[in-house]
Amino acid sequence: MRYAMAVDTKKCVGCSDCVVACQAENNVPHGYAREWVVELVEGSYPNLEMELRSERCNHCDNAPCVRCCPTGASHIVEGGIVLVEHNKCIGCGACITSCPYDARYSHPEGYVDKCTFCEHLVKEGEDPACVAVCPTKCLYFGDLDDPRSEVSKVIKNRKYKTLIPEAGTDPQIFFLT
Amino acid sequence: MANRREFIKIAGLGLGGLVMSNPAINAFTNTFLQDESSLLTGGMTRTPTYCEVCFWKCAGWVSQDKEGKIKQITGNQEDQHSNGRFCPRGTAGAGMYYDEDRLKTPLIRTEERGKQVFREASWDEALDYVADKMKSIGEKYGNECTALLTHGSGGKYFGNLIRAFGSDSIAAPSYAQCRGPREVAFHMTFGEGVQSPERTDIRDTRCLVLIGSHLGENMHNGQVQEMSDAIDKGASVITVDPRYSTAASKSKYWLPIKPSTDLALLLAWINVIISEGWYDRDYVEKYTYGFDYLKEHVKNMTPEWAYGITTLKPEIIRESAREMADSAPSVIVHPGRHVTWYGDDTQRERAIAILNALLGSWGRRGGFYVPESVDIPSWPHPPYPEPKKNWKDAYPGKYNLAYETIASGICDATIPSLSKACNFKTWIVNGTNLLKTLPDQQKTIDAINELELLVVVDTMPMEITGYADVVLPECTYLERYDTIRNSPHREPAIAVRMPAAKPKYDSKPAYWMAKELAKRLGLEEYFSWNNIEEMLDWQLKQVGSSLEEMKSKGVKTFKRSYPLYFLEGEDFEFYTNTGKIELYSTAMAQEGFDPLPVYTAHEEPPRGYYRLIYGRAPSHTFSRTSNNINLTDIMEENSVWVNPRVAKLWGLKNRQEVYLENQDGIVSKFPIKVRITERIRWDSVFMVHGFGHDNKKLSRAYGKGASDAELITKVHTDPVMGGTGMRGNFVKFRFEPAKNEKVS
Ligand code: SF4
Ligand code: SF4
Ligand code: SF4
């Protein structure tokens, strides 16, 4: 099993509903976020292009944050989901520095936090909160090892990219372009 | 003029001495019924609601844990407005309930040591006060001098009260300040309005044309979802906007038009479609009236003619017209929603309607469907007294084509003048922050100063509350029952809102306030139900449902009684003078207006000024959400979008704070951050509406960003229906605040 997500940048409108739903689902404190929206504009008026995309932890296959964690709090569970065990985390921040995507933040309660792919919902067979709420249905989630999963299908049929592939982290979030 | 009504800040009030109730689990609903289906796993409960964060009214569920804490608000899968997915504002709705800045108790204006202040009052005191005043003002001037200005569900109950009292001057700013011109224009053309939610069949369209309408930034939920579905299915989008909007970035054609020239583009499109013979001949022949007049009218309005006006290249105008024609009849030239721009808005909307008629999209799959709603009777009440006058008497012979009351018209009619036969003395303002929704704030304040009674019903200490004589704290939509939602859609469907929690503080629902006032005014027979559950249950039973059923379902969908689209070759009588789709409007001609739209040039920005364009951000609904902690997290202030060329000219840096000064010398009260971006034309600036609050009691929203409303002092009134065109205002940058900052 390999959980992954695809973000259709052709459909995302940058509304941040995914962020709001994540905050509520995961009790993310105000002023912090596990996910965020990026707006990239290229060209000059009126020859412009813009990409909107919702970003979060890439649940990298080759995760530097896990490798550098001195306590083992950052770890990988079933399906390749990268998690932080709050009790074990000493808040040293090594992982924050090592992550090329700036996907982690220091929780005010002293540990490091980030996107969990809503692992608590996923193991019940539900979609992550962001996927379930997205009004444009531009987020796809599922098992890459299962060719019938939504995410496998869109990745097979569409062009896509990953972020900072040169970092060698092997990200598992795919941006459909 | 004596400023009788000083602005009072609602600071530090409402906390002492009064009971603050805790959000108890379904405390209200429990009194009625609590069935199994509302129990979720893990001891969570769910209560049906429809969202009140914007007018889209998505139906959904409020999920609460054992302690009654609202954990989530999610869409109802059965609901056509939301398809089970709320937009960010709806998802964040609990922030309205938990907002500690809410209005907490009734307040009455009083004088203490020469200074006007609010004092806390009990409900009895406040309602007695309002009823006594309404009566004595009515005796003096006639009950017709009472007006209701409303936005939101509670308006229905206050409307019943005001009508029973003898006035029919009831206005929503969503008409003359927003979608009115489009409703009138479509009525003139097709004999029916566009309605809300819009009858646009975006889901199945092949080509969606957006004219200044920024779907995706305005999260009209169902429409945004359908736009996404349409893109998925390969539909093309054509966007006309001086700003590179989100929709523009998803478009096959983006037409970066010179602002205020849209009508010229529309006429050129009509010209191309007629001269190339790309229109739907059968449809035009069978259903429309006045094609030959139209053909003659537009014959010189070529793309080359439009180029000089719009700055859009002729070949782009032709290509985009071709794109529409190739997709016809599955094409939507979208009428937009907020369309009060330049004062000739009904005419621009007429051109949109005409274009749709030529393409044969009205009544067709992928164009405009025929919506249907459910017939729900109102709770029986005696007939309303016939008012002897209403707001229209203030404008003899004018606005005959306006189907709804003009909020700005009520405002104007409140300022006495010899020419106006109707002056209002009492306003009840429900859920609308008039100072931000009506243009020309000073005029609104002048009108308020003429009132003998201003009652404000709201959940939050919005600016308008500071001018009230009496403030009545309404509970949020999560704490109350409301009218049954019955909006036209593909399938007729109803939805209910039930209280998920007991009203916090000493707030009350609108229906309760209206009924209590009716009691005091001797109008009880208009509210003869014992409690709201009884009334709703009765209404629901008339259509074969019940409150009990709706508690577990939230939404109920009914069978259609007529087809969703026109049938092939079907004869159809339109509700127009000619019974046809009027390309040439006979009603407009009768009223002395151009029966075919004529382009007129609008004023351009003076040297050194930029046209002020305002719009929406997906995470906010005007000022309604600007204090919601879940949304200030996403966006806490607006910024002014400036083209890099303009920024260079003024030496502006990104995120630098500037003040904006308009053509009339009005300076924004607060500074606003500059956002330098290629996404805006060099002759315009853009800002999101609803920020720059000046009431300190809105602790998160106070002073965040600037208010476009205060800069809109010049209004171009639509002669056809009284809409207030607001896009003819120009601003420049200033590096210091206004000299003698006038604090209102
Ligand atoms: S909710 Fe969907 S459309 Fe909105 S920003 Fe997130 S991913 Fe994009
Ligand atoms: S995105 Fe960052 S935090 Fe997430 S797995 Fe990769 S390196 Fe670790
Ligand atoms: S569109 Fe959003 S804010 Fe409006 S009613 Fe629907 S969920 Fe609520």
Convert the pLDDT of each residue in B459-498 to its tens digit: 999 989 999 999 999 999 999 999 999 999 999 999 999 9
Which residue, among B227, B678, B681, would best test binding to A if mutated, counting the most A CBs under 10 Å from its CB? B678
The backbone torsions φ and ψ at residue B358, rounded to the nearest 5 degrees and listed phi first, read: -65, -35
Q: What span, in angstroms and rounded, lies between the C-alpha atoms of B141 and B740? A: 39
**β-pairing verdict for B610-615 and B730-734:** antiparallel
Backbone conformation region of residue B567, classed left if phi is above 0, alpha if psi is from -120 to 50, else beta: beta
Cα B718 to ligand 3 centre (Å): 29
SS3 B188: helix
Radius of gyration in angstroms for the set of CA atoms belonging to chain A, rounded to a whole number: 16
Which residues of A fall within a CB distance of 8 Å from B229? 137
Task: State the virtual CA torsion across B138, B143, B144, B149 in degrees, nearest 10.
Answer: 90
Q: With an 8 Å Cβ cutoff, are B225 and A135 in contact?
A: yes
Q: What span, in angstroms and rounded, lies between the C-alpha atoms of A14 and A37? A: 6
Q: CB-based contacts of B73: which residues, under 8 Å, 6+ apart?
A: B49, B51, B60, B61, B62, B63, B86, B90, B91, B93, B94, B478
pLDDT tens sequence across B595-641: 999 999 999 999 999 999 999 999 998 778 989 999 998 999 999 99
pLDDT at B412 (0 to 100):
78
Residues A48 and B678 sit within 8 Å (Cβ to Cβ) = yes
- Structure confidence at residue B269 as a pLDDT band (50, 70, 90): very high
Residues B360 and B367 sit within 8 Å (Cβ to Cβ) = yes
Q: Which amino acid is at A34?
A: R
Q: Which amino acid is at B277?
A: G
Q: What residues pair up with B211 in beta bridges, in sequence order?
A: B240
Cα B95 to ligand 1 centre (Å): 20
Pocket test for ligand 1, best of A25, A131, A134, A137 (most atoms within 8 A of CB): A134
Residue of chain A with shortest Cα separation from B620 = A15
ipTM for the whole complex: 0.94
The Cα angle at residue B447 between residues B52 and B390, in degrees rounded to 5 = 75
Which residues of B fall within a CB distance of 8 Å from A45? 244, 256, 643, 678-682
Q: With an 8 Å Cβ cutoff, are A23 and B224 in contact?
A: no
Higher pLDDT, residue B437 or B330: B330
DSSP state, residue B225: H
Q: What span, in angstroms and rounded, lies between the C-alpha atoms of A81 and A77? A: 5
Q: Report the percentage of chain B scoring pLDDT > 90.
A: 77
What burial class does residue B353 get, using C-beta atoms within 10 Å of its C-beta: 0-12 exposed, 13-18 middle, 19+ buried?
Answer: buried
pLDDT at B35 (0 to 100):
38
Q: With an 8 Å Cβ cutoff, are B246 and A30 in contact?
A: no
Q: What is the mean pLDDT of residues B682-698?
A: 92
Question: How would you label B623-655 residue by residue, b for 16+ Cβ within 10 Å and e otherwise?
Answer: bbbbbbbbbbbbbbbbbbbbbbebbeeeebeee
Which of A16, A51, A138 minimises the CB distance to B634?
A: A16
- Structure confidence at residue B399 as a pLDDT band (50, 70, 90): confident
pLDDT at B5 (0 to 100):
52
The Cα angle at residue A45 between residues B270 and B325, in degrees rounded to 5 = 25
pLDDT tens sequence across B208-236: 999 989 999 999 999 999 999 999 999 99
pLDDT greater than 60 at residue B13:
no
Which residue, among A9, A11, A53, would best test binding to B if mutated, counting the most B CBs under 10 Å from its CB? A11
Q: CB-based contacts of B437: which residues, under 8 Å, 6+ apart?
A: B151, B173, B177, B407, B622, B709
Q: With an 8 Å Cβ cutoff, are A23 and B643 in contact?
A: no
Domains along the sequence of chain B with CATH: 177-371+565-590 (3.40.228.10), 610-734 (2.40.40.20)
pLDDT tens sequence across A105-147: 999 999 999 999 999 999 999 999 999 999 999 999 999 999 9
The backbone torsions φ and ψ at residue B722, rounded to the nearest 5 degrees and listed phi first, read: 80, 10
Chain B contacts to A (CB-CB under 8 A): 71-72, 74, 85-88, 91-92, 94, 216-217, 219, 221, 224-225, 227-229, 231-232, 244, 246, 249-250, 254, 256, 618-619, 629-631, 633-635, 643-644, 677-682
SS3 A95: helix
- Closest C-alpha to B469, from B428, B430, B519, B510: B428
pLDDT at B741 (0 to 100):
55
Q: With an 8 Å Cβ cutoff, are B633 and A30 in contact?
A: yes
Q: What span, in angstroms and rounded, lies between the C-alpha atoms of A5 and A141? A: 4
pLDDT at A11 (0 to 100):
96
B221 pocket-lining for ligand 3 (C-beta < 6 Å) = yes
Q: What is the mean pLDDT of residues B247-263?
A: 97
- Structure confidence at residue B743 as a pLDDT band (50, 70, 90): very low
Residues B269 and B320 sit within 8 Å (Cβ to Cβ) = yes
Which residue, among B229, B249, B627, would best test binding to A if mutated, counting the most A CBs under 10 Å from its CB? B249
pLDDT greater than 70 at residue A149:
yes
Residues B622 and B689 sit within 8 Å (Cβ to Cβ) = yes
Q: What is the mean pLDDT of residues B185-209?
A: 96
Considering Cα of B317, then B318, then B320, then B324, what sign does the dihedral take? positive
pLDDT at A91 (0 to 100):
92
**Is the bond preceding A46 in cis, omega lying within 30 degrees of 0?**
yes
Count how many pairs of residues, chain A against chain B, have C-beta atoms within 8 Å: 114
Q: What is the mean pLDDT of residues B88-110?
A: 95
- Closest C-alpha to B481, from B500, B462, B507, B457: B500
Higher pLDDT, residue B588 or B407: B588
pLDDT at B418 (0 to 100):
62
- Locate A131 and state its tokens: 């996927």
pLDDT at B744 (0 to 100):
42
B58 pocket-lining for ligand 3 (C-beta < 6 Å) = yes
A144 pocket-lining for ligand 1 (C-beta < 6 Å) = no
CA distance A70 to chain B (A): 32
pLDDT at A42 (0 to 100):
93
Residue of chain A with shortest Cα separation from B215 = A13
CA distance B244 to chain A (A): 8
pLDDT tens sequence across B411-462: 878 877 766 666 899 999 998 888 888 878 888 898 999 999 999 999 999 9
Residues 12-41 on A with a CB inside 8 Å of B are: 13-17, 19-21, 23-25, 30-31, 33, 41
**Mean model confidence pLDDT for chain B:** 90
Which of B71, B225, B677 minimises the CB distance to A24?
A: B71
Residue of chain B with shortest Cα separation from A136 = B225
- Structure confidence at residue B3 as a pLDDT band (50, 70, 90): very low
Among protein residues, the one whose CA lies closest to atom 7 of ligand 2: A99
- What is the fold, at CATH topology level, of the domain defined by A3-176? Alpha-Beta Plaits (3.30.70)
Q: Where are the alpha helices (DSSP H) in B612-704?
A: 629-632, 644-650
Residues B497 and B480 sit within 8 Å (Cβ to Cβ) = yes
Residues with CB under 6 A from ligand 2: A 57-60, 63-65, 82, 99, 101, 103-104, 114, 169
Residues 135-174 on A with a CB inside 8 Å of B are: 135-138
- Closest C-alpha to B218, from B233, B203, B192, B197: B197
Pocket test for ligand 3, best of B55, B87, B96, B623 (most atoms within 8 A of CB): B87
* Nearest ligand, CA B59: 3
Q: What is the mean pLDDT of residues B691-715?
A: 91
Q: What span, in angstroms and rounded, lies between the C-alpha atoms of B528 and B126? A: 22
pLDDT at B597 (0 to 100):
98
DSSP state, residue B485: B
Q: Report the percentage of chain A scoring pLDDT > 90.
A: 99
pLDDT at B77 (0 to 100):
96
pLDDT tens sequence across A41-59: 999 999 999 999 999 999 9
Residue of chain B with shortest Cα separation from A27 = B71
Rounded to whole angstroms, what are the CA distances from B360 to A163, A168, A174, B239?
45, 55, 41, 20
pLDDT greater than 50 at residue B1:
no
Q: With an 8 Å Cβ cutoff, are A50 and B249 in contact?
A: yes
A103 pocket-lining for ligand 1 (C-beta < 6 Å) = no
SS3 B196: coil
Cα A9 to ligand 1 centre (Å): 9
Q: With an 8 Å Cβ cutoff, are B643 and A45 in contact?
A: yes
Residue of chain A with shortest Cα separation from B94 = A24
pLDDT at B8 (0 to 100):
55
B86 pocket-lining for ligand 3 (C-beta < 6 Å) = yes
- Structure confidence at residue B71 as a pLDDT band (50, 70, 90): very high
Rounded to whole angstroms, what are the CA distances from B528 to A125, B368, B376, B379, B380?
50, 40, 18, 8, 8
- Structure confidence at residue B392 as a pLDDT band (50, 70, 90): confident
pLDDT greater than 60 at residue B31:
no
Which residues of B fall within a CB distance of 8 Å from A21? 91
Q: With an 8 Å Cβ cutoff, are B680 and A46 in contact?
A: no
pLDDT at B681 (0 to 100):
96
Considering Cα of A118, then A121, then A124, then A125, what sign does the dihedral take? negative
pLDDT at B362 (0 to 100):
97
State the closest ligand 1 atom to the C-alpha of A11, by its place in the atom list counted from 1: 3
Residue of chain B with shortest Cα separation from A44 = B678
Question: How would you label B483-496 residue by residue, b for 16+ Cβ within 10 Å and e otherwise?
Answer: bbbbbbbbebbbbb
- Structure confidence at residue B36 as a pLDDT band (50, 70, 90): very low
Q: With an 8 Å Cβ cutoff, are A48 and B91 in contact?
A: no
pLDDT at A17 (0 to 100):
96
pLDDT at B4 (0 to 100):
52
Q: Where are the alpha helices (DSSP H) in B276-419?
A: 281-287, 291-297, 303-310, 314-327, 345-359, 407-414
Residues 78-137 on A with a CB inside 8 Å of B are: 132-137
Which residues of A fall within a CB distance of 8 Å from B253? none
